Amino acid sequence: MERIQSVNAARIAWCCADHGITPGELAAEVGIAANTMSRIMAGELGPSFQQLSKIAQHFGRGVLFFLEAGHVDVGTVHTPQFRTLARQKPELSARVKALVERAERQRDMFLSLREDLDADGTPVFAPPDLAGCAPKQAAALARQWLGLGQAQQSFDSYRTALEARGILVFRASGYNGKWQIAKESPILGFALYDALCPVIVVKKQHSDTQLTFTLIHELGHLLLHKASSIDDDGDIHGQQGAEREANAFAGHLLVPDAALAVIDDAMRPQDVAELETWLKPVRKQLAVSTEVILRRLMDEGRLPAGLYASYRQWRAAQPAQDGSGGSREWRHREPMHLFGDRFVRTVLDALESRHITLAKASDCLDSLKVKDIRELERFYAGS
């Protein structure tokens, strides 16, 4: 077996440190014998091309990255957006860091396909000018920009509205794998600001209302602050600085004044367990949680702060629904849930026009098997 003697083992070591794993753990994950990995790291043995390819794929790098001499230039390896998130959350797990880089590569892949297709009418990210706007005014302008009317909303309808305005929205998988944000991770979502094509990634949660609030919170960071951001549960409920602004923006966009106007305060129950029934019509119409509506009512002076606090305490004591599991019978549709309709249609258009191969389409669509790609094509053809 021919081996590559010119591999830069220091770069493998750097990638291991960057991802928070040891060379031994890397060996186990990519299927290389521990003794072989030890000899590679010591410079005693060169890896085979297949072994080096596995290492490169694991770290999301090209093979040539590990053949270059010299130290790693972090400024060129990590994008400014990635470094922004790493500064915000220095304790980020290696798994989340890898997901951030994967989302960036997916965005780059999408833009490359759009360029190959030379597609007219591609949504361009041209946000409204919200400079100097208070969150309430900014939310009203954003609703107009997104074309949100009085129709019943859902996470998917908000996602479609963002996609139509040039923003990619990825929903992390609930299955263990490279597109999952682990259940034990506090991270709920992140946004990668880009003047051409921003990306928002949201974690799979127990309900779509939680997904929706995280989505619009991240949109607030993109539109108000023109910055990348990464948020955990504390940030989503933060009441200071940029997090407070993003929360207020999300609250006003999801629950505008017109929606609050139909709520009858005289019918408000004092038993916190009955508040969800009281607000059910509005909650269903807007695809938001009871807590978001209560927060808006409290901020408007229509709900005692003590009642809001009691509701949050009661809600936290309720058993959480298990959002994991599920059948993978509809594997061919999973890329739609992961990457959104806009991304998937672009990949299928590129495949149909022969700009990419089936192998490349599979790479774009979360390693979808050929039979599932064909099933996905038939699904779109019949929709």
Per-residue pLDDT reduced to its tens digit, 138-183: 999 999 999 998 888 999 999 999 999 999 999 998 888 889 998 8
Nearest to 8 by CA among 65, 94, 88, 66: 66
Domain boundary among 282, 316, 350: 316
What confidence tens digit (pLDDT) does each residue in 69-120 have?
999 998 888 889 998 998 999 888 888 988 999 999 999 999 999 999 987 6
Question: Are residue 144 and residue 262 in the same domain, yes or no?
Answer: yes
Say if residue 121's pLDDT is above 70: no
pLDDT at 139: 97
Contact in structure between 70 and 77 (CB atoms under 8 Å): no
CA dihedral 360, 361, 367, 371 (to 10 degrees): -120
- Name the domain boundary from 316, 350, 368: 316
200 in Cβ contact with 222 (< 8 Å): yes
pLDDT at 348 exceeding the cut of 70: yes
Distance CA 221, CA 235 (A): 12
Q: Are residues 367 and 308 in the same domain?
A: no
Nearest Cα neighbor of 186 from 125, 238, 138 is 238
Domain containing 43 — which CATH number? Answer: 1.10.260.40
At residue 331, the pLDDT reads 87
Alpha carbon 11 to its chain's center? 28
Please determine, for residue 299, whether its predicted confidence score (pLDDT) is greater than 70.
yes
In a domain, 27, yes or no: yes
Per-residue pLDDT band at 59 (split at 50, 70, 90): confident
User: Is 121 part of a structural domain of the chain?
Assistant: no
pLDDT over 70 for what percent of the chain? 96
**Segment 341-353 mean pLDDT:** 96
Compute the average pLDDT of residues 350-365. Answer: 95
At residue 207, the pLDDT reads 87
Instruction: Give residue 348's domain range.
Output: 333-382
Question: Mean per-residue pLDDT for 230-240?
Answer: 88
Pair 221, 187 in one domain: yes
Looking at per-residue pLDDT, the higher value among 177 and 313 belongs to 313
Cα–Cα distance, 31 to 48 (Å, whole number): 13
State the pLDDT at residue 328. Answer: 56
How many structural domains does the chain have?
A: 3
What is the average pLDDT across 200-208?
91
My answer on whether 164 and 307 are in the same domain is yes
Which single residue is written with the structure tokens 């991270």? Answer: 187
Q: Do 268 and 154 share a domain, yes or no?
A: yes
Predicted confidence (pLDDT) per residue in 212-221, tens digit:
999 999 999 9
**pTM, 2 dp:** 0.88
Answer yes or no: is 117 within a domain: no
Residue 191 has pLDDT above 60, yes or no: yes
Same domain membership, residue 363 and residue 292: no
Asked whether residue 377 falls in the same domain as residue 246, the answer is no
Mean pLDDT computed over 291-312 = 95
Please indicate, yes or no, if residue 46 is contained in any of the structural domains. Answer: yes
Predicted confidence at residue 347, as pLDDT, reads 97
Q: How confident is the model at residue 60 (pLDDT cuts 50, 70, 90)?
A: confident
Q: How far apart are the first and last CA of the chain?
A: 50
Mean pLDDT value across residues 121-145: 91
Phi/psi at 3 (5° precision): -120, 150
Same-domain check for residues 296 and 356: no
Q: Residue 29: pLDDT above 80?
A: yes
pLDDT at 318: 86
Let me know if residue 124 belongs to a domain. no
Q: What is the mean pLDDT of residues 351-371?
A: 94
* 240 lies in some domain: yes
Least confident stretch, 133-142, 288-297, 313-322, 342-351: 313-322
| 139 part of a folded domain | yes
